[in-house]
Structure 1
């Protein structure tokens, strides 16, 4: 998302006046960017409010206390989350790969704001609302120092207000069960992390003008799970999107009920209790204990749920109505992927037979889809790891094709059929990264999921070569134009073409045919539940 900070930066105090919301005290970085962090957009989702939709800041709420501006200098703490992976991803590890040690805070509905230091242009700055990644299980807008977008906003040319949104993850963000549905006034259940994102966007719409932003020029997007969330939130109601991946169908509450009961058992909460008693007991469990027990249950991944409220019907992913709405609103989208998505998705799973393959797939998909794709897929594409076994290969292809590749082609097709012009739909593949990225990545991973981040981060302080930096600058121009609602010319002339950051000629930008389009359209039939 951003860049490691330069040791030559200067730091000064600055303030922001948000009118009735009071004042924030922040940091002026190098005279170029103002930063305000750990800013609440909703009340704490704690105690009796755990496992419920977020509560927006009430009328009369003020950041200022006793005449003093709120301290928006120091970053907040991450949402409580399990140790979901042993991989040295930034959310969980230091640069040397050792595990990070840090506390959590369930009062995590906060945002971090960066903005140019100068006066806003006529009409105000464009706003980029960024949703972090992490499988919906981990991640936070604060814990990675490389997430600072100072260079991205300035040298990279974004010149916008950049807001990184915190939201609940794992069980705290996506636990769903009949008991929670029964106590909900409107029947909504689960998807609390997505409701968090909705409330954050409403805060932006209501208050961003106080910071010099234009509430009519908001771009929503993110990386990995943040990109999934972008389309999910847009499917409910939103404004515009920038995305790098597309989701699959949520599970049903009936499918997640056993997961809830597994968690209760792990926490020594008797299943003989009534529904209200179960909820009272689990809400009283300390967050640290709750997240520690998550990885001890069989179904340890908590994901979105088909509740009839946030996800109002079962066909929203492929019925074309989302595309029709984008056409109606004259909206644009960027959808991208990396060349070897599968190598990260399969890492951490041990699959040795069809049973273990099914269990691994079921961490991502409903029982029905898991059964279908367990039969449908077979290893068929080249792999960066020449020693990969067939079951692990199959798992990686199932998850990466189902999570990223097939749904993105399906969405592009729907946009085409809805009459959205090609110059509003921009698809890319990253197949090259700078050498400094490959130094820290196992060769068997190839160019895998999230390895494009230093490019979209505009991470120039990591030491790219002269040609590499030139290529990064050229690639990021489309990003800056999109964020600022300017025309974007990707260079594609047909729907089955894609813009590629290619390894050819030691790194180059090319327009190529999407050779997987037809195959992945067949895959999308299975993922979307449309196969006969």
Structure 2
């Protein structure tokens, strides 16, 4: 879901070495460049691709522009050296999670990667994007464009993490060359602050507005790099995938010509509620207090004026997805009556949505990486109390108690799935992992694809490969394949280029329909690919969806 900030070690290797070109006389050639307005933009050649890094797409949201909607950049002029990554946005610092000694080292390393930021300066001045193109692209190329929105719980992450040059180089190899764009957006209290004051000022969900401004920049400028503004696919993982779904819902489902397709890895319209609910209001009030603003006549304006490090320090005291609240953080996109008119799942069922081809899938063990902060819950009663108080506050205890029947404490039916009694780090861990993965990931995805399947082209997948010892096919594990030149990446490239993931003799990926809810399933073991039905834990997910629609978090 929103937690895809994972620096997998395979990615670091691929990004750092595979496309390094040997030193030749070609190094003496002029550097690659494009023209934007009256500016010459200098790029960085890297084997078969060229990178243009750190290009601003909005004015720096600093000073009085903090906690306001993004402002477009003025026309470019002069010479712009786009050979180094731009700043990443200020991120929340998470407290460490204590793991039991029986958690395998591979799982510990994987979890540590969740909160390891890229080696790039953090700043409020961070609204920049990277454009990576085939080296031979020209303004006449009109190549399809894949716009990457990183994950990280809307709290961490940046466009510096995943190596987009691998995707572009692979697209050239398989005969579907594309342009890759990776965008930054504001995070946590800088980008997703909630509360009554925020809603009334019309400045909720600012990170989504940042993304939309980046899409508008792409429409204006991407042709200079060789991209076709009419062939844009927006794509993300976790928070990025949720963002894609919310852009489909925004503006009455009118894409404004900004994109023609969506690819969602572990993310869809989430079961979140309103931006001014009591939980978010208490978070706003805490931040106001911790920044010395409680006596201000206009507390929101006071927050704009405090030093950035003061606001960050207050933000760091608030919950993260590795806190006891787990996936119920205060920084999820929530309904603001504007960009998100209604709680996202309700909006899905009641409002218009962009009629575009989509891919939307999940990892098998979505909840395993996020269930460690509640290892102290050891009894059925403690589990029930927690789920009732944390996820379904306005639902009767009796109704919530049915979850205990649907998700029993028997480790053999918990996540990571199909592991028997292994990896039961506490009496409730595998139950929590199973419930939480379905609550925030699997059930929302199923509702989403079932609702759209008869209206537009829909493809769905289940990723059961790149397993990590101890947590299985955890949230984000498919990234190693997509950004490592693997088969899922090939399907993605073909989809970006042709709106159909199939071709090149690959295993056929069937369209998803409600009469045949078929998923392409990726496996570590043989068969490497097979087609399965999207009917697992059917009763369980239907019930969670029923509760979530009635009582969104």
In which range does the TM-score fall when normalised by the shorter chain?
0.7 to 0.9
Mapped partners of 1:398, 1:147: distance in 2: 37
301-310 vs 445-454, which moves further: 301-310
Shift of 1:26: 1.2
Change (3 A) 1:512 1:145: closer
Hey, what does 1:309 align to over in structure 2?
338
Distance change in 2, residues 1:145/1:119 (3 Å): closer
Match for residue 536 of structure 2?
Answer: 516
More displaced 10-residue stretch of structure 1: 194-203 or 123-132: 123-132
| Structure 1 position 338, deviation (Å) | 0.9
1:25 to 32, 37, 42: 42
2:152 aligned residue = 134
Give the C-alpha shift of residue 201 in structure 1: 0.4
1:383 aligns to 2:415 (yes or no): yes
Residue 522 (structure 2) aligns with:
501
Q: CA deviation at 1:190?
A: 1.4
Residue 243 (structure 1) shift: 0.8
Structure 2 gap segments, 5+ residues each: 1-6, 98-107, 320-324, 417-421, 503-507
**Structure 2 residue aligned with 1:527:** 548
Change (3 A) 1:21 1:279: farther
Match of 2:94 in 1: 84
Q: Which residue pairs with 1:454 in the alignment?
A: 480
Indicate conservation of the 8 Å contact 1:78/1:143, yes or no. no
**TM-score, structure 1 length as denominator?**
0.81
Partners of 2:52 and 2:224 lie apart in 1 by 13
Is 1:38 equivalent to 2:54 in the alignment? yes
Does the CA-based 8 Å contact 2:163-2:483 persist in structure 1? no
What is the number of equivalent residue pairs in this alignment? 484
Give 2:101's aligned residue: none
Q: Name 2:369's counterpart in structure 1.
A: 344
Deviation string 1:249-304 (CA, Å, 9 cap, x unpaired) is 3332133211101122333x253432x1x223322333233223323246864221
Secondary structure of 2:220's counterpart equals: helix
CA distance in 2, matches of 1:362, 1:148: 44
**TM norm structure 2:** 0.78
Post-superposition CA distance 1:86-131 (Å, at most 9, x none): 477789759xx98877641111110011011114597610000110
Instruction: Indicate how the Cα distance of structure 1 residues 19 and 503 shifts in structure 2: closer, same or farther if over 3 A, else same.
Output: closer
Q: Determine the structure 2 residue equivalent to 1:467.
A: none
- 8 Å contact from structure 2 (residues 58, 214) kept in 1: yes
Is residue 2:294 matched to residue 1:271?
yes
Q: Does 1:70 align with 2:80?
A: yes
Spell out, residue by residue over 1:395-423, the C-alpha distance to the aligned partner (whole angstroms, 9 max, x if none).
32332112211111111111134x33xxx
Is residue 275 of structure 2 the alignment partner of residue 262 of structure 1?
A: no
User: Structure 1 pair 406/371, CA: closer, same or farther in 2 (3 Å)?
Assistant: farther
CA separation of 1:232/1:173 partners in 2, compared to 1, >3 Å: closer, same or farther? Answer: same
Instruction: Specify the alignment match of 2:71 in structure 1.
Output: 55
The aligned runs of 1:370-449 (5 Å cut-off) are: 374-378=400-404, 379-380=407-408, 381-384=413-416, 385-417=422-454, 419-420=455-456, 424-433=457-466, 441=468, 443-449=469-475
SS of residue matched to 1:159: coil
Q: Quick one: distance in 2 between partners of 1:487 and 1:101?
A: 36
2:208 to 189, 194, 200: 194
- Alignment CA distance shift 1:452-1:189 (3 Å): same
SS in 2 for 1:337: strand
TM-fit CA distance, 1:319:
1.5
- Matches of 1:402 and 1:34, distance apart in 2: 41
1:469 aligned residue: none
Aligned to 1:250: 272
Q: Deviations over 1:434-453 (max 9, x none)?
A: xxxx5xx4x21111011111
Look up the SS of the partner of 2:360 in the other structure. Answer: strand
- Verify the 8 A CA contact 1:373 1:398 in the aligned structure 2: no
Q: 1:486 to 1:81 in 2, by over 3 A?
A: closer
Please give the root-mean-square deviation of Cα atoms over the aligned residues, in Å. 3.3
Q: 1:222 to 1:165 in 2, by over 3 A?
A: same
Matches of 1:158 and 1:484 in 2, distance apart? 6
